[in-house]
Amino acid sequence: MLKFISLIIIGCFVSSLHAQTDSLKIVTDISIPQKLEWYKTKYIKESIVPLGLATASLTILAIPNLKENLQAKLNWNNQAKSSYIDLGDDYVRYAPIVAAYLLSDALTDYGFRPKHKFIDRTAILAVAYIASDFVVHNTKQIVKAPRPDKTENTSMPSQHTAMAFVAASFLDHELGHVSPWISVGGYAAASYVGYARVARNAHYTPDVLMGAAVGILMTNATYWAYDGVMKLLPERLIVSPIADFQQTGVYVCYKF
């Protein structure tokens, strides 16, 4: 009888130990979410390029005579001369936007699916342009840097380049996931605009570098703000600006 009771106690002890081991295994298998380091966040990653461009711009300005020497080498298409050739920079700055809408709306069935719906991405683009133009305009008024052709004191930063890089960043955000070559094409077009502005003697190199930095950063910041707002608002609420020849305002739609 005593042996029987002893066997029961030992069996209970082994069963209890096995259960505790299984419980410990379950606990250890639970993955604890790791906190993402600040330098690995998308805000830092998407700020590296524009901050690098801004730093390059300021570095050129800080080195005596460097921007003038660069201008002398790159200014081959002076708009004041009879040999001036229109390089189309006034129009190429919008090319990435045209590409973004044509690819996403005409070729959706072929895999060119943008990250946002038409009304949402249009609102994002409008805000990005407004924010970029605000920064560029006010910086021009504060700095009052003379243009290379001495026509105006509105050289820094380049508005054409800023608008071109808003368009390129917009294309990258919306369709860059489809193919990296789409992003490469957009940024190549924007870079061409910056080069053309220097070549025609309308801007110095630091002006276009700073314009590119503003365009990219303002577009990224607009997407960050959009993502933050959308997390707070219900999915059934749509808010977007309205601007045409007859009216301006804000479109608000809530699906009940």
* CATH assignment of the domain containing 238: 1.20.144
Q: Assess whether pLDDT exceeds 90 at residue 35.
A: no
Residue 94 lies in a domain: yes
Residue 3 lies in a domain: no
Residue 20 lies in a domain: no
Residue 25 lies in a domain: no
The whole-angstrom separation of Cα 178 and Cα 174 is: 9
Kindly report, residue by residue over 150-206, the tens digit of the pLDDT. Answer: 999 999 999 999 999 999 999 999 999 999 999 999 999 999 999 999 999 999 999
pLDDT at 8: 40
pLDDT-based confidence at residue 17 (cuts at 50, 70, 90)? very low
Q: Assess whether pLDDT exceeds 70 at residue 132.
A: yes
Query: Which pTM value belongs to this model?
Result: 0.77
pLDDT at 228: 85
pLDDT at 252: 65
Residue 233 lies in a domain: yes
pLDDT at 256: 52
Residue 41 lies in a domain: no
Q: Find the mean pLDDT for residues 17-46.
A: 59
Residue 178 lies in a domain: yes
Minimum mean pLDDT range among 78-82, 129-133, 194-198: 78-82
Which three-class secondary structure string do you get for the chain?
CHHHHHHHHHHHHHHHHHHHHHHHHHHHHCCCCCCCCHHHCHHHHCCHHHHHHHHHHHHHHHCCCHHHHHHHHHCCCCCCCCCCCCCCHHHHCCHHHHHHHHHHHHCHHHCCCCCCCHHHHHHHHHHHHHHHHHHHHHHHHHHCCCCCCCCCCCCCCCHHHHHHHHHHHHHHHHHCCCCHHHHHHHHHHHHHHHHHHHHCCCCCHHHHHHHHHHHHHHHHHHHHHHHHHHHHCCCCEEEEEEECCCCEEEEEEECC
Q: Assess whether pLDDT exceeds 90 at residue 27.
A: no
Domain count, the chain: 1
Tokens read off for 36: 């993402």
Minimum mean pLDDT range among 83-87, 227-231, 238-242: 238-242
pLDDT-based confidence at residue 25 (cuts at 50, 70, 90)? very low
pLDDT at 236: 56
Domain range enclosing 207: 48-254
> Which long-range CB contacts under 8 A does 228-232 form with residues at least 24 apart?
none
pLDDT-based confidence at residue 7 (cuts at 50, 70, 90)? very low
Q: Assess whether pLDDT exceeds 50 at residue 14.
A: no
pLDDT-based confidence at residue 5 (cuts at 50, 70, 90)? very low
More confident call, 81 vs 34: 81
Please report, rounded to a whole number, the percentage of residues in the chain having pLDDT higher than 90: 63
More confident call, 20 vs 220: 220
Residue 38 lies in a domain: no
The per-residue pLDDT of the chain, averaged, comes to 84
The whole-angstrom separation of Cα 155 and Cα 176 is: 31
